[in-house]
Amino acid sequence: MTSPTTPEPSGPRHVERWLLASKITTIALMVAMIAGITFFWQHTISIEYPAHISARQPGQLAVLVTPAVAEKLHKGQQLLLAVATAEFPVIVQTIISDESGNEVRVQYGPVDAAAALILERHSTCTLIVSRRTVGDYIFGRGQSKLEQK
Amino acid sequence: MNSTTVDNAAQLPRYCPVRPITASVFLSGQAAEEPMLTGHVSNFSFDDILILLEEKDQPLVLPAQGLMRLVLRPQDSALPQRNASLPDQSRPISINANISRKEERDGGVFIRLTWARLTADQTRMLQQALQPSEEVLPEHLTKDDWQNIWRAYIFAIPYWSTIAVKWLQTIGGEILVKLYPLIGIIVFDVAIPNRDMPTFVNCMAAYLVLVLVRFVLQSGSAYIETHLSQNIEYDASVNYFRAMQKLDCSFFENTNIGALREQYSTGTTAVYRSIEQVVPALLTMSVSLLFIAVIAFRLCWQAALVMVLTAPVSYAANYVIAKWDLRNARLLLQNNIEVAALFQRILAGIKLMKLFRTDQYLFPDYLQRLRTRIGLNMTEAVLSIAHGFIRMISKDAVSAGLFIYLCFLLFQEKLTLGQYITLNTFLPQLGGALDEFVGYYRSLLDNSVNLRLFFNTVSSKPQISEAEPALHLTDCRGRVEFRQVYFEYQPLMPILRNASFVINPGEWIALTGESGSGKSTLLSLIARLRDPQAGSVYLDEINLRALAFDSLRRYVGVLPQESIFLGGTIRESLAVGAKGISESDIEKAAQLCQAARFVEELPDKYNTDIGEAGTRLSGGQKQRLALARLFLLNPTVMLLDEPTNAVDRQCEYDIFQSLRASFRSKTLIFISHNPDLIGYADRVFRIRRGYVEAIS
C-alpha cells in the first residue's frame, strides 16, 4: 500500500486566523451551551397566584383568591404560602365561594405558631402551586398527585 | 550485424493467464475424442506453454517427442464479448506443438510444449486470456474498500483538531434543534395555561438564545467545512498528481485523459467525503438518534417503540431499492467517465472535424452516452420515487396511526398539550434518524466506488522506476549497448527480438525500417521511457535500470517525432529543462536549428506567445524550436526521431550541417527515411521483423 503523503496546505494567513477564531468561538459556545442547558434544566418553575389573607384563626388561615385561581386548587392540595421573604407549607382544607362570586375563600391549616406570628403582620400573600425544575416538567417527574385535579 | 534468433528463452517474458484455460493434448492426427492429456495452462511465453496436468490414476506416459495437437479452451465463456473483432472466447483454439519435457514441481506435474509460429487468432486468444475481466464492483464493502477508507483518513491527520471542532459544531447544532420542542412543553403546559408571563418570557429568551447559538455554530461549521474540504482535496490532488508524475508512458497510452480527469475530480471529493462520512457522521448520527430516542421514550414509550419497530420495514425498502439504485449509480459513474473521455477525444480531434467538414467524429457516440445518462438519471428518479412510496407506506402510515393514538392520549389527559406537540415533532425526527442510520451503509458503498477509482490510480505502480540506490554519473562518454533486448507492446508480439549491438562514443547511427518496425521504440528504450521485457540497455556500460533518472536525462536527450510544447513564450519554451542558460545561448541554439530567422521576424521575437501546446506555430517551426531546446540541454547522447520531417530540404540540410559542425563529438542516433540524411551516419541500422541489422 502506498502511503499518501500529506503536503502542507498553503492558505493565506487570514484564513488561518478565521479558522482559529472559529475554533475558539465553537469551543466557548459549546461550553456555554452545556452550562446553559444544565442551568436551564435545573431552573425551578413556580406558578404563583396573588392572594389576600382574609382571616386568621389559631392554627388556621383563610385567604381570598379569584375564581380562576380557585379552579386550580382542590382539597388536600399541598402548596406554599409566601409572605415577603418567608414561605410556609400549607394544605387546602375547604374552598368556599363568597356571596358575590368574585372571590373564593380557601381555608388552610395547620399553621405553626412562628408562622402565625409572621402572617399576622401581612394582609397579602402569594400562593405557590408548584415548584419544579424544567427537567421535571419536561419529563413529568415529581408531579405530586395532590397537585392533580 | 546479422539477424539472430531468440536463443535465450529463459530471459523472455512468461505470462500467467488471468482466466483459466483448459488444455487438451491429442496425438497429432488422433481422431479420438478422448485426449491423451488434459490440464490447465499454467503459463506461456512466445514460444512455449506450460500445462499443469490433472491427477491421473494411470502413470503419465509421454512420447519422447512428436507433434501434438493442443486444444485450448478458455473457461469463462459467459464473459460478455468485449470486442467483436476478437475471436469468440468460448471457441477452442487448436495449436500444433511439440512436447518438450515433463517437469515435476511443488504445484504438481507439468509438461512443457514448444509451439511453432502462432496464427493471429491464436495470439489474440492468448492475449485475451491475459486481460483481467471487467471489474465487477461488489455490492458490499470489501477489505480493499475499508483499506481505502483508512488511506483516506491519513489525509485527515493534519486536520484532526479542525475535524473535532467541526464535529462539535455539528453535534451542538443537532442537539440545539432538539431542544426547541422541549421549550414548547414549558410554554404550552405551564406558561400559557397559567398566564405565567415571566416563565413565558424566560422560555422565549431561551429559545432566541438557542436560535442564535445554533446560527453561530452553523456559520462556523460552514466555514470550517469549506476549509477542511478544500485543504483535504488539495492534499489529495497533490498526491494524485505526484502519483501521475511517477507513472510512465505506458499508463497514459492505455488511459484516457478525460477519464482520468473525471476520476480525479470525483476521487478527491470522495476522499473528503470518506473522512467526513465514516467517523464524524456516524458519531453525529448515533448521538442524535440516542438523544431523540431517549426523549421520545421518556415522553411516550409506546409511540416511540412503534416508530422504532418501523425501522426493519425501512431497512427492507432501502435494501431492495438500494440494490437497483447502486447498480444504476455505478452505471452512471461509468457513463460520466465515458462522457468525459469522449469529450476529451472530441476536443482533441476538433481540427480533424473541421478538415473533414464532419461532426460525425465520435459525436454520435457522445450523444449516445448523453442519452444513456438521461435514461440512467430517469431510472434514478423512478427508484427514488419508489423508495419514497415505500417510505410513505411504512413511515407515514405509522405516523398517521400515532397521531390518532396521541390525540387519544391527549383526550384522556394522559398527555399534556406540550408533550403532545413535542412528540409530534420528535417522532418523525426519530423515524428520520433511523432512516439515516439504515441508509448509512449504502452511502458508504456509493462513495467507495469513487474512492476505489482514485486510489487505484494513485497506487498504480510505475513499470519504470528508479533503482534504490541509483547510480549518478559525473561524466558520460556516450557509449550505448543493447544486450539481448526483447521488447513487446502486446504479449507474444515482439517488436525487438534479441537485439544486441554497441554504439561507440561519438558515433552517428541512422535507424531505418518500415513504419511500425520499432525504430522509435528503440530510441525510447535508450531514453528509458520503456524497459525491455528481457535483456538490458547500457550507457557507458552501466545498466540503465541502475542509473538515476537525473543522470539519464542529463546525458541522454530525446527529440520525439511530435514536437511537444506546454505553451508560454518562445524563450520559456526553449529554456524548459535547461539550467543556467543565457540569452545568447538561446539565440545560438535557435541559430543552429535555423529557427532564429523566423523568430526574429516575429513582433515580440523570443517573447512571442506560442499558444497552448504551441498551436500558433507551424509544424516546421515547432520542430526547429524543439531541436533548439534539445541543443540547449547539450546531452552526450542525442536521440532524434525524424528530426527534420516537417522542414524543407534546404533547412534540413542546414540543420544537419550545423549539427555536424557543433555536435560531431556527440553520440547521435537518428531515425530517417531520407537517403541524403542517412549519408551523414557512420553506420546504418535497419529494423525488420523485430531484428536489428547493421546494413552498413
ipTM of the complex: 0.70
Integer Cα distance of B425 and B183 in angstroms: 12
DSSP string, B421-478: HHHHHHHHHHHHHHHHHHTHHHHHHHHHHHHHHHHHHHTPPPSS---SSPB--S----
| Helix runs in B634-648, H state only | none
Query: Contact, B682 vs B670, CB < 8 A?
Result: no
pLDDT of residue B443: 78
Q: Determine, for residues B242 and A22 on separate chains, whether the beta-carbon distance falls below 8 Å.
A: no
pLDDT of residue A145: 37
pLDDT of residue B55: 56
pLDDT of residue B8: 45
Beta bridge partners of A97: A104
Integer Cα distance of B399 and B422 in angstroms: 14
Q: Determine, for residues B223 and A19 on separate chains, whether the beta-carbon distance falls below 8 Å.
A: yes
E strand or H helix that includes residue B38 = strand B37-44
Q: Determine, for residues A19 and B227 on separate chains, whether the beta-carbon distance falls below 8 Å.
A: yes
Q: Which residues contact B95 (CB under 8 A, 6 or more apart)?
A: B69, B70, B71, B72, B115, B118, B122
Task: State in Å, rounded, how far the first CA of chain B is from the last one.
Answer: 9
Integer Cα distance of B67 and B28 in angstroms: 6
Q: Determine the 3-state secondary structure of A53 from DSSP.
A: strand
For strand B480-490 and strand B493-503, is the pairing parallel, antiparallel, or unpaired?
A: antiparallel
**Distance, in angstroms, between A99 CA and closest chain B CA?**
25
Q: Determine, for residues A6 and B155 on separate chains, whether the beta-carbon distance falls below 8 Å.
A: yes
pLDDT of residue B525: 92
Q: Which residue of B has its CA nearest to A4?
A: B239
B419 touches chain A (CB under 8 A): yes
pLDDT of residue B135: 58
B400 touches chain A (CB under 8 A): no
Identify the CA nearest to B538 among candidates B549, B529, B526. B526
- For chain A, give the mean pLDDT: 74
At A2-33, the pLDDT tens digits run 455 555 555 555 567 788 888 888 888 888 88
Q: Give which of B188, B214, B234, B410 to mutate to test A binding, by max A Cβ within 10 Å.
A: B234
B380 touches chain A (CB under 8 A): no
B301 touches chain A (CB under 8 A): no
Identify the CA nearest to B89 among candidates B105, B65, B73, B110. B73
Q: Determine, for residues B298 and A11 on separate chains, whether the beta-carbon distance falls below 8 Å.
A: no
Q: Determine, for residues A33 and B176 on separate chains, whether the beta-carbon distance falls below 8 Å.
A: yes
B237 touches chain A (CB under 8 A): no
pLDDT of residue B481: 92
Identify the CA nearest to B76 among candidates B18, B138, B136, B139. B18
Q: Which residues contact B222 (CB under 8 A, 6 or more apart)?
A: none
Greater confidence (B325 vs A65) lies with A65
Q: Determine, for residues A47 and B196 on separate chains, whether the beta-carbon distance falls below 8 Å.
A: yes
Burial of B207 (0-12, 13-18, 19+ CB in 10 A): middle
**Distance, in angstroms, between A36 CA and closest chain B CA?**
9
Cell for B210? Answer: 438557542
**DSSP 8-state symbol, B280:** I
Half-sphere exposure of B202 (CA within 13 A, CB side): 18
**DSSP 8-state symbol, B15:** B
* Sole residue written with cell 496436468: B53
A148 touches chain B (CB under 8 A): no
- Measured between beta carbons, the chain A residues lying within 8 angstroms of B213 are 29, 32-33
Query: Contact, B560 vs B524, CB < 8 A?
Result: no
At B440-465, the pLDDT tens digits run 877 787 788 888 888 888 888 888 88
Q: Which residue of A has its CA nearest to B221?
A: A22
Closest Cβ opposite residue A25 in set B216, B231, B239: B216
Task: State in Å, rounded, how far the first CA of chain A is from the last one.
Answer: 72
Residues 64-83 of A with CB under 8 A from B: 72
Integer Cα distance of B424 and B444 in angstroms: 31
E strand or H helix that includes residue B495 = strand B493-503
Q: Give which of B149, B170, B199, B451 to mutate to test A binding, by max A Cβ within 10 Å.
A: B199
How distant, in Å, are the alpha carbons of B46, B242, B419, B545 from that of B8?
Answer: 12, 38, 88, 20
SS (H, E, C) B523-591: HHHHCCCCCCCEEEEEECCEEHHHECHHHHHHHEEEECCCCCCCCCEHHHHHCCCCCCCCHHHHHHHHH
Torsion of CA B236, B238, B241, B247, to 10 degrees: -90
At B15-72, the pLDDT tens digits run 777 777 888 877 766 555 677 778 888 877 777 788 887 655 555 566 655 677 778 8
Q: Give which of A29, A38, A136 to mutate to test B binding, by max B Cβ within 10 Å.
A: A29
Q: Determine, for residues A22 and B168 on separate chains, whether the beta-carbon distance falls below 8 Å.
A: no
Q: Give which of A10, A18, A33 to mutate to test B binding, by max B Cβ within 10 Å.
A: A33
Identify the CA nearest to B598 among candidates B579, B572, B575, B616. B616
Q: Which residue of A has its CA nearest to B196?
A: A47
Cell for B148? Answer: 481505502
| Sign of the torsion formed by the C-alpha atoms of B259, B261, B265 and B270 | positive
A114 touches chain B (CB under 8 A): no
At B605-654, the pLDDT tens digits run 888 887 777 777 777 788 888 888 888 888 899 898 888 877 788 887 88
| Mean pLDDT, residues A43-66 taken together | 79
- Measured between beta carbons, the chain A residues lying within 8 angstroms of B194 are 47, 72
Q: Which residue of A has its CA nearest to B205?
A: A40
At A89-129, the pLDDT tens digits run 888 888 887 666 666 777 776 677 777 777 777 888 888 87
- Measured between beta carbons, the chain A residues lying within 8 angstroms of B238 are 5, 7
For strand B48-53 and strand A124-133, is the pairing parallel, antiparallel, or unpaired?
A: unpaired
DSSP string, B203-268: HHHHHHHHHHHHHHHHHHHHHHHHHHHHHHHHHHHHHHHHHHHHS-HHHHHSS-HHHHHHHHHHHH
Q: Determine, for residues B168 and A30 on separate chains, whether the beta-carbon distance falls below 8 Å.
A: yes
DSSP string, A67-118: HHHHHT--TT-EEEEEETTEEEEEEEEEEEE-SSSS-EEEEE----HHHHHH
pLDDT of residue B88: 47
Low-confidence ranges of chain B (pLDDT < 50): 1-10, 77-89
Q: Determine, for residues A4 and B189 on separate chains, whether the beta-carbon distance falls below 8 Å.
A: no
**DSSP 8-state symbol, B22:** E
Instruction: Name the phi and psi angles at B255, rounded to 5.
Output: -130, 135
Q: Give which of B190, B197, B245 to mutate to test A binding, by max A Cβ within 10 Å.
A: B190
Identify the CA nearest to B527 among candidates B498, B561, B484, B572. B561
- Measured between beta carbons, the chain A residues lying within 8 angstroms of B235 are 4, 6-7, 9
Cell for B434? Answer: 433511523
Half-sphere exposure of B207 (CA within 13 A, CB side): 14
pLDDT of residue B2: 38
Q: Which residue of A has its CA nearest to B214?
A: A29
Q: Determine the 3-state secondary structure of B180 from DSSP.
A: helix
- Measured between beta carbons, the chain A residues lying within 8 angstroms of B416 are 140
Q: Which residues contact B568 (CB under 8 A, 6 or more apart)?
A: B609, B610
What interhelical angle do B417-438 and B397-411 show, nearest 10? 160
Closest Cβ opposite residue B206 in set A3, A32, A40: A40
Beta bridge partners of B204: none
Integer Cα distance of B418 and B423 in angstroms: 9
Q: Which residue of B has its CA nearest to A45?
A: B199
Q: Which residues contact A128 (CB under 8 A, 6 or more apart)?
A: A46, A47, A48, A79, A80, A81, A82, A87
Q: Which residue of A has its CA nearest to B417?
A: A138
pLDDT of residue A146: 36
Query: Contact, B426 vs B299, CB < 8 A?
Result: yes
| Peptide bond just before B469 cis, omega within 30 deg | yes
Q: Determine, for residues A11 and B216 on separate chains, whether the beta-carbon distance falls below 8 Å.
A: no
Provide the phi-psi class of B160: left if phi over 0, else alpha when psi is between -120 and 50, else beta: alpha
Torsion of CA B501, B502, B508, B513, to 10 degrees: 10
Q: Determine the 3-state secondary structure of A5 from DSSP.
A: coil
B147 touches chain A (CB under 8 A): yes
Beta bridge partners of B537: B482
Residues 10-39 of A with CB under 8 A from B: 11, 15, 18-19, 22-23, 25-27, 29-30, 32-33, 36-37
Closest Cβ opposite residue B213 in set A6, A29, A137: A29
- Measured between beta carbons, the chain A residues lying within 8 angstroms of B209 are 36
